[in-house]
Amino acid sequence: MSDFLTSLVAVVAVLGFMILIHEFGHYAVAKWLGVRVEQFAIGFGKRLVGFRRGETDYRINAIPLGGYVKMSGENPMDDRTGDPAEFLSHSRWHRFLIAIAGPTMNIMLAIVLLTVIYMVHFEYPAVYDEPTVIGWVLKDSAAAKAGFQIGDRITRIEDVENPTWEQVDLKEALNPGQPLSVEVQRDGQSLQKTVVPEAAGVDQIGVAGWAPKEFNVRITDLTPGMPAEKAGLKEGDQILQLDGKPVPALAAMVESLEITKDRPISITVQRDGQQKSFTVQPILTDKRYRIGIGSMQTKVKTLPFAEAFNLSLHENRQNGLLILELVKKMIQHKISVKSIEGPIRIGQAAGEAARRKGWTPLMGLTAAISLNLGIFNLLPIPILDGGVIMFLLIEGLMRRDISLRFKERVYQAAFVFLVLFAVMVIYNDLMKTIPGLADRLP
């Protein structure tokens, strides 16, 4: 199967499953509370296929961009008959439970999926278990300008004491162009520094320009047809030297290639207890000189249920707070909206996860997207579940219903906003996906 078809099948399966779970939450609670459900739909627009059972039409529609559960009397602009099975005939408490059920199902799905992953195949970067010692500082980077040096140990970054590399990476990524207060230990002394990560890449996330100290730089990925593979390097080789100099981190090799460019380089590795040397000819691809290797040492654990469940709760809580922080920073214009991933980029990520060995990568991506979907739907934007909840809370405080005319205007404005938001996200996806597209546009 081609990469495109793999990505298409994967994203349809992942998004379809999450939409199904989300809408089932609304459906199940509505039925439980005695609200008549007229339609249970995946997608929007014209009905393609489906069946009717009882009072509900179960259907798949032509436009696969979400789904909905249509309940009797749900639209405030519809004429109300007073039928007890109508949505608006129920108490605000009942309507609140129906509205929050969809996002809750998505969040619960994320918790369940991560729990299963941690019980079966919990894989994570090995450097997350290592001390936050800087192994390399890129020339002219934000870290270099701030005076960081190889061997510095990061003991605090902003409000996080004794951070892991995972916490350092997150602070760095979420603060492009924003000063970060960092404390390091150097030669027994504590030094206070401020670094301003630079916005980099298609996502415009923050990059400080430091890299973790790697206790061994081992090749974990070889790109087929690239110079490293052609020269005879193999996955599992431990890189000892580049042109006779030690390699403290893969970032050191990346920077060295920008200096040597297409000049042949000598790489010394250790393989099966023996040292071997190879001559590799770098090539220019995507405006960078590469040889086609990757180095990401990972660890794998299997956790008992209780520990896996607790870790899943912790990780989902942290990731949820991270999503809210990202939204806050975008509103404050502290981080670019380009960091948002749309359906095209999600499709690419799903395809990559599906092509990786085992089923846990795709399950992990599904958990992450499900959590994002659940939290996004809880944002207080009319039309979304969070908007419904917001109106219910306001009406509860006012002890009366908000004007239907006012609601209609708000819903219309929210619809326009969401359409424009979707257009912007897809446009950003295209800019990131198609090389040189931005340069070809007028």
φ and ψ at residue 220, rounded to 5 degrees: -110, -20
Domain boundary among 180, 212, 244: 212
Report pLDDT for 76: 64
Token pair for 202: 């298609």
Residues 201 and 277 in one domain: no
CA atoms of 90 and 83, how far apart (whole Å): 10
- Flag whether 332 is in a domain: no
Residue carrying the six token digits 């994320």: 110
Distances (CA, A) of 372 to 61, 65, 194, 321: 24, 16, 31, 11
* 223 and 269 co-located in one domain: yes
Nearest Cα neighbor of 251 from 198, 305, 295, 299 is 295
* Residues 188 and 232 grouped into a single domain: no
Tell whether 206 and 142 lie within a shared domain: yes
pLDDT at 186: 93
Say whether both 207 and 226 belong to one domain: no
Q: Calculate the dihedral angle through the C-alpha atoms of 428, 434, 436, 439, rounding to the nearest 10 degrees.
A: -40
Same domain, 390 and 284: no
Distances (CA, A) of 53 to 39, 50, 56, 153, 399: 10, 10, 6, 64, 38
Please say which residue of 212, 231, 265 terminates a domain. 212
Phi/psi of residue 197, each to 5°?
-55, 140
pLDDT at 425: 82
pLDDT recorded at residue 441:
42
Per-residue pLDDT of the chain (442 residues; tens, 9 = 90+): 566 777 777 777 888 888 889 999 999 999 999 999 999 998 888 898 999 998 999 999 887 777 889 998 877 666 677 788 888 889 999 999 999 999 999 999 999 999 999 999 888 888 888 899 998 898 889 999 999 999 999 999 999 999 999 999 999 999 999 999 999 999 989 999 999 999 887 778 899 999 998 877 888 888 888 999 999 989 888 998 888 888 888 888 888 888 888 899 999 999 988 999 999 999 988 778 899 888 888 888 899 999 999 999 999 999 999 889 888 888 888 888 777 877 777 777 777 777 777 788 888 889 999 999 999 999 998 888 999 999 999 988 988 888 878 888 888 888 888 888 888 888 887 777 775 544 444 4
Residue 176: which domain range? 127-212
- The reported pLDDT for the residue numbered 18 is 86
List Cα–Cα distances, 153 to 11, 24, 143, 166, 271, in angstroms.
Answer: 41, 49, 13, 14, 31
Facing residues of 284 across strands?
A: 289
In a domain, residue 78? The reply is no
d(CA 121, CA 136): 31
What is the 3 state secondary structure string of the chain?
A: CCHHHHHHHHHHHHHHHHHHHHHHHHHHHHHHCCCCEEEEEEEEEEEEEEEEECCEEEEEEEEEEEEEEEECCCCCCCCCCCCCCCHHHCCHHHHHHHHHHHHHHHHHHHHHHHHHHHHHCEEEEHHHHCCCEEEEECCCCHHHHCCCCCCCEEEEECCEECCCHHHHHHHHHCCCCCCEEEEEEECCEEEEEEECCEEECCCCEEECCEEECCCCEECCEECCCCHHHHHCCCCCCEEEEECCEECCCHHHHHHHHHHHCCCCEEEEEEECCEEEEEEECCEEECCEEECCEECCCEEEECCCHHHHHHHHHHHHHHHHHHHHHHHHHHHCCCCCHHHCCCHHHHHHHHHHHHHCCCCHHHHHHHHHHHHHHHHHHCCCCCCCHHHHHHHHHHHHHHCCCCCHHHHHHHHHHHHHHHHHHHHHHHHHHHHHHCCCHHHHCC
Q: Quick one: 188 and 225 in the same domain? A: no
Domain for residue 203, yes or no? Answer: yes
Same structural domain, 188 and 250: no
- Is 52 a member of any domain? no
For the chain, what is the radius of gyration of the CA atoms? 26
Residue 255 lies in a domain: yes
- Cα–Cα distance for residue pair 76/88, rounded to 1 Å: 8
Statement to judge: residues 20 and 112 lie in one domain: yes
- Is 358 part of a structural domain of the chain? no
Q: Tell whether 272 is covered by a domain.
A: yes
CA 282 to chain centre: 32
- Supply the pLDDT for residue 78: 66
- 334 located within any domain: no
Short-list 121, 125, 110, CA closest to 358? 121
Residue 55, judged by CB atoms within 10 A of its CB (0-12, 13-18, 19+), counts as: exposed
Q: Are 114 and 15 found together in one domain? A: yes
CA atoms of 8 and 333, how far apart (whole Å)? 33
Instruction: Look up the pTM and report it.
Output: 0.83
CATH number at residue 156: 2.30.42.10
Q: Look at the chain and report how many structural domains it folds into.
A: 3
Residues 174 and 232 in one domain: no
Whether 200 and 142 map to the same domain: the answer is yes
